[in-house]
Amino acid sequence: MQLSAGIHAVEVHYFQGGGEWELEAEVRGGGMGSLALETVLVESEAALKAARDAKDPNDPDTLVVDEAKVFKGRKLFANLGCANCHRMNEGGEDVVSQLAANLAKPIGELKAGGCLAEKPAGWLPNYSLSQVQKKALETVLTSPKGPSDAEGRIRETMVTLNCLACHQRGKEGGPIEEFNTLFKTTQPEMGDEARVPPLLYLTGAKLRAPYLEKILAEGAKDRPYMLTRMPGFGKAASHLVAELKKADKLPAVPVVLEKESVAKVKSTGRFLTGATAFGCIKCHTFQGNRAEGVQGIDMTLMPVRLERDWFHAYVDRPQEIRPGTRMPTAFRDGKSILDDVLDGTASQQIEAMWVYLSDGPKARLPLGLQKQALALTPVGDPIIYRNFIEGAGARAIGVGYPEKVNLAFDANELRLALLWQDAFMDAAKHWTDRGVGFEGPLGEAIVPLAKGVGLARLKDAKEAWPTQTAREAGWKFGGYRLAEKGRPVFFYGDGKTAVEDGFTPLSGAKKGLTRVVTTKGESGLYLRVAVGKLEKKADGSYELDGLGIRAKGLIERGENERKELLLPLAEGATSIEYVW
């Protein structure tokens, strides 16, 4: 905040959450470092004046303002040229230099000699310049306009700010032999990649503009294993963002996988980065979780830092894009070593990883990262897992079927909350120590379904879906029974209607479930099957982000991305098919 000179009221609010009874408050601002708040506190302006008046003028630590000297000093500051270089604010305005600007010749008219002479005259400053420095200054003096192209301006800035002392761009820069050994790392097995700041090759094509602006202004600490730290240059280097973007280009990567559901693409990307595919997590940390070997830069930072086109190019051709890297390649001539995933096409597999990583800190951990996993795998009969499941609430009931399809039922809201495929659940969090927190599904192709109460009694299909909870509406979960092959059937009711809700995996090549909802009692019930960007197919079925939904009597309502799919529940059995 901007404060004017004077006294300002201060309030300190704090919360004692436990531990020691201690409070410290500091104040910090432009032109001063951190100060303990109590050192600048006064009771009132009158108290401050009284304290100043009480000081002994003969005390050497007491500053006595001599207004005559202040007046003379102000004139000297303006007249001697101090204001040409130094800033002094008075009354909200900068003091303007009174020294005539034409006393000094333009840079282009300067001649060799003066401070550049072999032995500067006694009245001239002697900067002890080396021959290299003198030559550099003479070069600038003969062509003071500076470079006209982006690359030239980039080089000029990097030389001025000494970026090339650590970084190499083109054939220039990088640590000189004398200082090379001073660059250290905590990961010597990673070689120079972990020790020496990265090459500035295609940097403008590599880094996103907001991130590039941030590291130029504030410095960077994204490589904790590298003991050399990049300084922040504030606004002095801000123009480099536009210049680097102009100078460094890569061919644009066409859009791929646009016909695939986002959930399926992320699922594939998660598989590819995991231990059983490309094994990216063997060398890269992920959300702070350690890798098996060297601790490379955290993968969840990549979409924040990197441009999509550069990510595609680097993963496809690492040695070409970053010469000397230890990053292996899994692709050749546009084809992958994993030819059974996304047609074995490099661009599709790389895009899947990019989309998956774009969730950043919210991305699900890759398979193989959790070393102490307790994976629950259904064999023969389904596994029922009652616990805190992410996306299904605190009274979630997970069901894993041997057919490698899974669901989570929310017993609070009486709704089908999640569908997913392959691996079921990792019970390590809940079955060790205190078992605190939510755990998400372990498998792939996760499809979240509509939140809120799962069914409601409506006057007609036009009535708005209720916002009250299932309990507030009078519904009560009754539990479940095990039907054929140990498959659970949930039952619940509201005193007027009894409901049974069961699921059976589809047979054959299709992965999915058939849901049968059986009601007995009063009519007027509707099941909310889905909410979102629904697409109706020619055969009358619907699709929601890769999930196919088929049932007789489905009612579509709403608009755009908030469409609802309702299903009237007549007395008896009603079937719904989910395929994904």
CATH number at 291 reads: 1.10.760.10
Q: Between the ranges 276-280, 287-291, 323-327, 514-518, where is the mean pLDDT highest?
A: 514-518
Q: What pLDDT score was predicted for residue 195?
A: 94
CB of 529 within 8 A of CB of 555? no
The residues, ordered by sequence, that sit 6+ positions from 171 with a Cβ below 8 Å of its Cβ are none
Report yes or no on 57 lying in a domain: no
- Tell whether the torsion through CA atoms of 503, 506, 512 and 518 is positive or negative: negative
Q: What angle do CA 570, 571, 572 make, to 5 degrees?
A: 110
pLDDT value, residue 44: 83
Residue ending a domain, among 362, 387, 408, is 362
**Residue 299: is its pLDDT beyond 90?**
yes
Question: Between 451 and 19, where is the model more confident?
Answer: 451
What is the helix, strand, coil percentage profile of the chain, to 5? 30, 25, 50
Co-location of 506 and 557 in the same domain: yes
Pairing of strands 547-550, 331-332: unpaired
Domain boundary among 142, 162, 190: 142
Shared domain for 115 and 219, answered yes or no, is no
Tokens of 178: 């004398």
Mean pLDDT of 160-179: 94
Give the count of domains, the chain. 4
Give the pLDDT confidence score for residue 346 in this predicted structure.
97
User: How far, in whole angstroms, is CA 274 from its chain's centroid?
Assistant: 20
For residues 397 and 478, state if they share a domain. Answer: yes
How far apart (Å, rounded) are the C-alpha atoms in residues 222 and 434?
A: 33
Q: What is this structure's pTM?
A: 0.65
Domain region containing 216: 150-247
Instruction: Let me know whether 156 and 138 are in one domain.
Output: no
Interatomic CA distance for residues 127 and 134, integer angstroms? 10
Domain check: are 444 and 308 in the same one? no
SS3 at position 425: strand
State residue 146's pLDDT score. Answer: 74
For residue 269, which phi and psi values (nearest 5 degrees)?
Answer: -60, -40
pLDDT over 90 percentage in the chain: 64
**Minimum mean pLDDT among 6-20, 212-226, 457-471, 529-543: which range?**
6-20
Within-domain flag for 560: yes
Average pLDDT, the chain: 90
Q: Residue 82 pLDDT > 70, yes or no? A: yes
Closest CA to 372 of 300, 310, 444, 426: 426
Per-residue pLDDT tens over the stretch 226-284: 999 999 999 999 999 999 999 999 999 999 998 888 888 999 999 999 988 999 999 99
In a shared domain, residues 168 and 285: no
Find out whether 408 and 454 touch, Cβ atoms under 8 Å. no
Lowest pLDDT segment from 74-83, 171-180, 348-357:
74-83
Q: Would you say residue 313 lies in a domain?
A: yes
Please, what is the end-to-end C-alpha distance for the chain in angstroms? 53
138 plus 188 within the same structural domain:
no
